[in-house]
Amino acid sequence: MPRSPALWAVAAVLIAAPACDTGRHSPAGFRLPPDGSIERGKAAFVELGCNQCHDVTGVALPKAQTRPQAPVVLGGEVTREPTDGRLVRSVIWPAPQTREGFTMPHYEEKMTVRQLTDIVAFIQSRYTVRRPVATMGGY
């Protein structure tokens, strides 16, 4: 069964969805199916080799034989939760977010929509939103 057409359909929606809050390019209307599995996502993350270049906060993953000196860390404390659309776009069209000196393979022929949904559920589960604490007078 070809995987590419469904993944390309998701890609088309997200490529047109930069960080605007309204209008045609808004990610506001994008939603993944709500049945993403954290466990399946972790398994797909390893199966597809994402752990070769990424660490995930608080998760023990098998270490790959070839890794960059400074792996890209996913998860952790943030002041704003990443959207599913942003995470999907980062997987299927990583170029705009890729750090200098890093390349990321294209997964449109290698990944199913189910795997993508599960990987996003897995990664989302590792973010913790911490609101900044307001201080009076800088104290």
In this predicted model, what pLDDT tens digit does every residue of 29-39 receive, in sequence order? 778 888 999 99
Would you say residue 137 lies in a domain? no
Which pair of tokens denotes residue 120?
């996003």
pLDDT at 127 over 50: yes
Q: What is the mean pLDDT of residues 117-129?
A: 96
Residue 85 lies in a domain: yes
Amino acid (one-letter) located at 139: Y
- Pick the range with the lowest mean pLDDT from 1-10, 67-76, 94-103, 120-129: 1-10
Closest C-alpha to 120, from 61, 16, 50, 67: 50
| pLDDT band with cut points at 50, 70 and 90 for residue 104 | confident
Q: Model-level pTM?
A: 0.74
pLDDT-derived band at 19 (thresholds 50, 70, 90) equals very low
Asked if residue 22 belongs to a domain, the reply is no
Total number of domains in the chain: 1
Higher pLDDT: 59 or 20? It is 59
| Domain assignment of residue 81, given as a range | 4-14+36-129
The pLDDT, as a whole number, for residue 69 is 80
30: in domain: no
Is 27 domain-assigned? no
The CATH number that applies at residue 47 is 1.10.760
* Residue 23 located in a structural domain: no
Residue 61 in any domain: the answer is yes
